[in-house]
Amino acid sequence: MSFKDKARAILEQHDEKYWQRDLALLPPKERLKILLELAEFIEPKMQRQEIKTDVGEVVIKVIRE
Protein backbone atom coordinates (compact mmCIF):
# COMPACT_ATOMS: atom_id res chain seq x y z
CA MET A 1 0.00 0.00 0.00
CA SER A 2 1.46 3.37 -0.99
CA PHE A 3 1.85 6.27 1.42
CA LYS A 4 -0.90 8.09 -0.48
CA ASP A 5 -3.27 5.16 0.05
CA LYS A 6 -2.35 4.90 3.74
CA ALA A 7 -2.92 8.63 4.30
CA ARG A 8 -6.27 8.45 2.51
CA ALA A 9 -7.33 5.44 4.61
CA ILE A 10 -6.42 7.22 7.86
CA LEU A 11 -8.38 10.31 6.86
CA GLU A 12 -11.38 8.25 5.77
CA GLN A 13 -11.46 6.30 9.06
CA HIS A 14 -12.07 9.36 11.21
CA ASP A 15 -15.56 10.68 11.68
CA GLU A 16 -16.20 13.81 9.64
CA LYS A 17 -17.81 15.69 12.53
CA TYR A 18 -14.61 15.39 14.59
CA TRP A 19 -12.51 16.75 11.72
CA GLN A 20 -14.92 19.65 11.32
CA ARG A 21 -14.88 20.37 15.04
CA ASP A 22 -11.11 20.25 15.27
CA LEU A 23 -10.67 22.46 12.21
CA ALA A 24 -13.26 24.94 13.48
CA LEU A 25 -11.21 25.42 16.65
CA LEU A 26 -8.23 26.66 14.63
CA PRO A 27 -7.71 30.24 13.47
CA PRO A 28 -8.69 30.67 9.78
CA LYS A 29 -5.08 30.94 8.59
CA GLU A 30 -4.08 27.67 10.30
CA ARG A 31 -7.24 25.94 9.10
CA LEU A 32 -6.49 26.86 5.48
CA LYS A 33 -2.85 25.78 5.86
CA ILE A 34 -3.88 22.33 7.10
CA LEU A 35 -6.51 21.87 4.40
CA LEU A 36 -3.99 22.76 1.69
CA GLU A 37 -1.43 20.37 3.15
CA LEU A 38 -3.96 17.54 3.29
CA ALA A 39 -5.11 18.26 -0.26
CA GLU A 40 -1.60 17.49 -1.56
CA PHE A 41 -2.00 13.86 -0.50
CA ILE A 42 -5.10 13.54 -2.65
CA GLU A 43 -3.96 15.60 -5.65
CA PRO A 44 -0.22 16.36 -5.76
CA LYS A 45 0.95 19.75 -6.96
CA MET A 46 2.02 19.97 -10.57
CA GLN A 47 5.77 20.21 -10.93
CA ARG A 48 7.53 23.11 -12.60
CA GLN A 49 7.49 23.30 -16.37
CA GLU A 50 10.55 23.91 -18.47
CA ILE A 51 10.45 25.64 -21.85
CA LYS A 52 13.47 25.49 -24.15
CA THR A 53 13.90 26.73 -27.68
CA ASP A 54 16.15 25.14 -30.25
CA VAL A 55 16.35 26.43 -33.84
CA GLY A 56 12.99 28.14 -33.68
CA GLU A 57 11.14 25.15 -32.23
CA VAL A 58 9.45 25.29 -28.86
CA VAL A 59 9.94 22.21 -26.71
CA ILE A 60 7.83 21.96 -23.58
CA LYS A 61 8.78 19.38 -20.97
CA VAL A 62 6.32 18.73 -18.16
CA ILE A 63 8.03 17.14 -15.17
CA ARG A 64 5.79 15.19 -12.79
CA GLU A 65 6.36 12.88 -9.89
22-49: pLDDT as tens digits: 889 999 999 999 988 888 877 777 766 6
Q: Where are the domains of the chain?
A: 3-62
Dihedral angle computed from the Cα positions of residues 47, 48, 54 and 57, in that order, rounded to the nearest 10 degrees: 70
How much is the mean pLDDT over the chain? Answer: 80
Q: With beta carbons less than 8 A apart as the criterion, state whether 62 and 45 touch.
A: no
Report pTM: 0.46
For residues 15 and 58, which has the higher predicted lDDT (pLDDT)? 15
Question: In whole angstroms, what is the distance from residue 34 CA to residue 41 CA?
Answer: 12
Q: Is 58 exposed, middle or buried (0-12, 13-18, 19+ CB in 10 A)?
A: exposed
Residue 13's pLDDT band (cuts 50, 70, 90)? confident
Give me the pLDDT at residue 52, please.
64
